[in-house]
Amino acid sequence: MFLSIPSSFNIGSLTVHFYGIISALAYFLGILITCLIAKKRGFKTDDIITLACYVIPLAIIGARIYYVLFRLDLYSNFWDIFKIWEGGLAFYGGMIGGAFGVGLYCLIHKKNFFALIDLIAVSMILAQGVGRWGNFFNQEAYGYAVNDAKWQWFPFAVYIDSLAEWHLATFFYESMWNFATFAVLICMLYKVNFKANGMIAAYYLVLYGTGRFFIEGLRTDSLYLGPMRVSQVLSAVFVVAGLTYIIVNSVRNKHKSPLTYQIPEKKEKNKKEE
């Protein structure tokens, strides 16, 4: 006998989905953490709140469009496209949409894009770790079937009610990887004095991309482009991009020519008047 995982609950005539609650919590946590660390890159809380108004809507739209484009077979009914509470938000689509939002914000408000994405990388990976638990309640993002009884236990595997089978708990693996990556990035933000902005974001691409590449290979619901898993391809691209950025900046910094400008430090006023 297995415990059934509820995907929603009712408050009167209103149905509340756990997926929506977890997603909202993840976004809120991301904004909160970004506000708390904003000063590390010369931003104010108001800057982050305004930024969220650009990023969150575009991230959700991007995540949904990305998923729908690769699973058009599921949406014969046009209005089903808007039922995001039933699942179907692809992170990489959200990442692309969110990046567009950051770029738009920086263009309009004249902010340093590379300094800003360092902050976002730290908060986003934590939000991703939390957000993956929405997959638990929706019973999605799981891996191959686990037929050996000695491995049929959570968190190694998760019981899927609709299939009456145990499957690899890949959502849990990624959640834990994301939390570990957050610990690394937050330490970098406060302990490592990088000479170029964007370095933390580059390490995010490398660390998250590496974990996602291998975990994606275990999933049964991957989005495909021909024979290739799209998320694995993008993960590999992001790992290479992140490594390239890190290497190029490391070389340039040795010659005192960073790829991106630094936030100018405020000069201390002379105590004595001249």
| Residue 44, number of CB atoms within 10 A of its CB | 11
pTM of the full structure: 0.88
pLDDT tens for each residue of 204-263 = 999 999 999 999 999 999 999 889 999 999 999 999 999 999 999 988 877 665 555 455
Alpha helices, H only, the chain: 18-37, 45-70, 91-109, 113-131, 133-138, 170-191, 199-216, 230-254
How many CA atoms within 13 Å lie on the side-chain side of 67?
Answer: 23
**String of b and e for 225-256 (b: at least 16 CB within 10 Å)?**
eeeebbbbebbeebbeebeebbeebeeeeeee
Following CA atoms 180, 243, 227, 68 in sequence, which dihedral angle do they give, to the nearest 10 degrees?
70
The first and second tokens of residue 202, run together, are 């580059």
Sign of CA dihedral 85, 89, 95, 100: negative
What is the rounded distance in angstroms from the CA atom of residue 176 to the CA atom of residue 132? Answer: 10
> What is the pLDDT at residue 259?
56
| Residue 35, number of CB atoms within 10 A of its CB | 19
pLDDT tens for each residue of 58-102 = 999 999 999 999 888 888 888 888 887 676 788 999 999 999 999
Cα distances (Å, whole numbers) of residue 101 to 163, 223, 260: 39, 24, 20
Q: How confident is the model at residue 120 (pLDDT cuts 50, 70, 90)?
A: very high
Question: 220: which DSSP letter?
Answer: S
Following CA atoms 250, 253, 257, 261 in sequence, which dihedral angle do they give, to the nearest 10 degrees?
80
